[in-house]
Every structure is written in structure tokens, then in C-alpha cells.
Amino acid sequence: MSKKVNKITEEELKSVKEQQTKLNTLLQEIGVLESQKHAALHELASVNEDINVYKKSLEDKYGSVQINLQDGSFEEIENVNN
């Protein structure tokens, strides 16, 4: 006795395959973007570390100052201790 095989239409199968391909492509693209995000976050942490080291060297040289990024002038920051 043969068992009846149930199938969807060729058009439906084509549509399902196209959707699955789109899904797989998007998941792969998300993986690439997440990898790029991870690398960018590491680079950001490195830049922040460099900034902090340089700020410390400037503070050692000039004291606690507020620097004008337009022209390089600076004003001392006064500590207000209550």
C-alpha cells in the first residue's frame, strides 16, 4: 500500500524558499554589523583611554583648566569646597 505524499504548490515552495533566503541573508548581515559594532566599541574604549591619559598630562602641566577647543585658550577651574 502506498502512502500519499502531501505537497505544497511549486509557487508556494518558491515563496517559502525566497523568504528563507531573505531571512538567512539578514541574519548574516546582522552578524557582520554586530562584529563591526564590537570592534568599534573596542576602538571607542581605546580612544577614551588615550583621552584620559592626555587629559592627565595636561592637568599635570597646567592644573585644572577648562580648554576652549576653538582657539586653545584656557581658564582655571576653581575648586569650590564647602
Q: pLDDT band at 78, cuts 50/70/90?
A: confident
Per-residue pLDDT tens digits for 45-54: 999 999 999 9
SS3 of 18-66: HHHHHHHHHHHHHHHHHHHHHHHHHHHHHHHHHHHHHHHHHHHHHCCEE
Q: pLDDT band at 79, cuts 50/70/90?
A: confident
Per-residue pLDDT tens digits for 20-32: 999 999 999 999 9
- What are 14's three cell numbers? 518558491
* Whole-Å CA distances, 69 to 18, 29, 72, 80: 53, 39, 6, 24
Q: In the chain, pLDDT over 90 holds for what percent of residues? A: 88
* pTM tops 0.85: no
